[in-house]
Chains A and B, each alone.
Chain A
């Protein structure tokens, strides 16, 4: 089962690529498992940049699945389907 993972801003600097097509095994297809797979693939720098929060409580990344923040889906338990788009967004802003 293939999903697309997109990396934005500083996360892209670590992965060195803007997006990847990623193979997930059925039964191993939640956002949580996908993140663990990505940590394995991109190493400790990726993990450091994506896990937990900054001092002050701002999460290091927000995760979108098909345009929706997973906090408004099933959190890291959100299950991915074939063709889903996962986007990793570090804290940024603009106006």
Chain B
């Protein structure tokens, strides 16, 4: 077997309760690395175009990459993939940090694959190579924090234990729920939590102490040294760098000053009060410490406290930039302490913050435009700027209480139900993140074409377009954006298959990743080969989505972003120009109408 892998996967049939060790196919590891690529390939091998999200055959796969658990900077990450997302109808995927991925590997497995549905609630415990399904009836209904506390000590070694679990919202099959690990880390998007909930699987506990060996330890050490130096010297990722000092929330003011900070359900793109909810204000008023994932030298996480007042909350983590925008400007709300509270509630119930906030903002606009009759709201005053209603809406959604049952549909179905589908700011049913695509052309193209729907980290063009990394691109221009979008999408696919954090891309490039992975696995790798691997992963995901019926029709943005110019602020008058870029994107991809050609599939070894 290659270095850096345990060489073993665990298959769990929740229907029969049978657990089996299966060898990790070496060829598969070479072709897809691990993480997202491996998960997608396992899904593809059992693909059924008529799959339903809560079908027992919907596979749920937790997969580490070769970097996970090694001394590679940010090697603390893992991916979760499912055959069919309840939110988008595409293949589902998400990735997370914390320490769950490394401890799965130390417990003896590269990946865990779940199939079937358990009759009663269960959790899986994997301790030093021994896996066991256990009754979780007493845990069903507990919040994420409570179940994590309950299970962290079961193997007598909490330091070497990590819990991934779902909250009550996922048990209630809300389609925009994540899988949470180490309390605050989330594989948040595409409703993976609901798939886990449908399987009656409450948690997966991992404990282990067996380190995995790289193929060439000396070479790896040297290559890690070079990468670490780049990370340390970089003003963004270094010890006193922007990410460590301010966290992702530093983007609030930056995007707002570009006129690209989505506001009131993307009606506007500038929020005059943005500074009050910025990363700078978070540091000044609520930050109590910083937290990082396993093996991370960057440490971008926030520990936060709201010590008093109506939104008081202790020992919280976050909020990230996305969460601040989505419950803040996007709901017309300024108060940062309330946003910390909203984030905390979502973490407790296991809700994806972006989709939760996007759905509330959509509901607020539906109410204000008279589409949702007052009596339907049962007293919930869902209007832009109403903090109480926003916070109320979160727990109501988790438990489908009152109007929460409608919010639990997600913004796409909610807007359709009330006769205004154009007010849902989604792509493929996934609520859009915190960058208005009207003044930033590349990110719009990425949202439109991302396989898992409206998603920024699928291909983070913000890096060159707004942050100027690795080079500065004019955000307002469409020139060369299809090529950049493709490059960044395939880079992200490779990074997510390797098991490292996307934030290292601010300091490292393909040659550094390829060098470290080569030393770790023993497989000959270079920048081109790694990028090709990323392209294969993106195309494989696209191929499966095509078989689910997705093509050019879904590769677009909400009408508002194509037709309603930004009304005021620095980006006044701008519109997304995705329709002008999409054909060039397809041409460069080797796709026709959103579908990889036979030739492209052959080139990538997919046909």
Contact = CB atoms under 8 A, between A and B. Distances in A.
Interface of A: 6, 8-10, 12, 18, 54-56, 58-60, 62, 64, 66-69, 71-72, 85, 87, 89-95
A91 B253 contact: no
Interface residues of B, number: 46
Across the A-B interface, the 5 shortest Cβ-Cβ residue pairs: A67-B570, A92-B242, A94-B248, A94-B251, A91-B235
A70 to B, nearest CB: 11
A74 to B, nearest CB: 14
Contacts of B457: 95
B245 interface: yes
Contact of B279 (A9, A54, A64, A72): A9
A67 B234 contact: no
B242 A91 contact: yes
A34 B272 CA distance: 24
Interface of B: 230, 233-237, 241-243, 245-251, 253-254, 257-259, 275, 279-280, 300, 320-322, 439, 456-457, 460, 462-463, 467-469, 472, 474, 476, 502-503, 506, 569-571
A91 B506 CA distance: 10
A37 B457 CA distance: 39
Most-contacted residue by chain B among A6, A69, A92 (CB, 10 A): A92
Contacts of A59: 468
B251 A58 contact: no
Contact of A56 (B234, B259, B474): B234
Given A9-B245, A62-B468, A72-B476, A92 B570 contact: no
Contacts of B462: 95
A77 B506 CA distance: 29
A54 B237 CA distance: 13
Contacts of B233: 54-56
B259 A91 contact: no
Most-contacted residue by chain B among A56, A58, A67, A87 (CB, 10 A): A67
A14 to B, nearest CB: 13
Contact of B503 (A8, A69, A89, A95): A95
A90 to B, nearest CB: 7
Contacts of A90: 235, 242
Contacts of B242: 9-10, 90-93
Given A56-B234, A67-B257, A67-B258, A93 B474 contact: no
Contacts of B456: 95
Given A9-B242, A69-B472, A71-B472, A94 B249 contact: yes
20 contacts: A6-B253, A9-B253, A9-B280, A18-B280, A54-B234, A58-B235, A60-B235, A62-B472, A67-B257, A85-B570, A90-B242, A91-B235, A92-B236, A92-B246, A92-B254, A92-B467, A94-B243, A94-B250, A95-B248, A95-B320
B48 to A, nearest CB: 33
Given A6-B257, A64-B258, A67-B258, A93 B280 contact: no
A42 to B, nearest CB: 17
A83 B241 CA distance: 32
A69 B275 CA distance: 20
Contacts of B476: 68, 72
A90 B234 CA distance: 12
Nearest to B275: A18
B411 to A, nearest CB: 22
Contacts of B230: 56
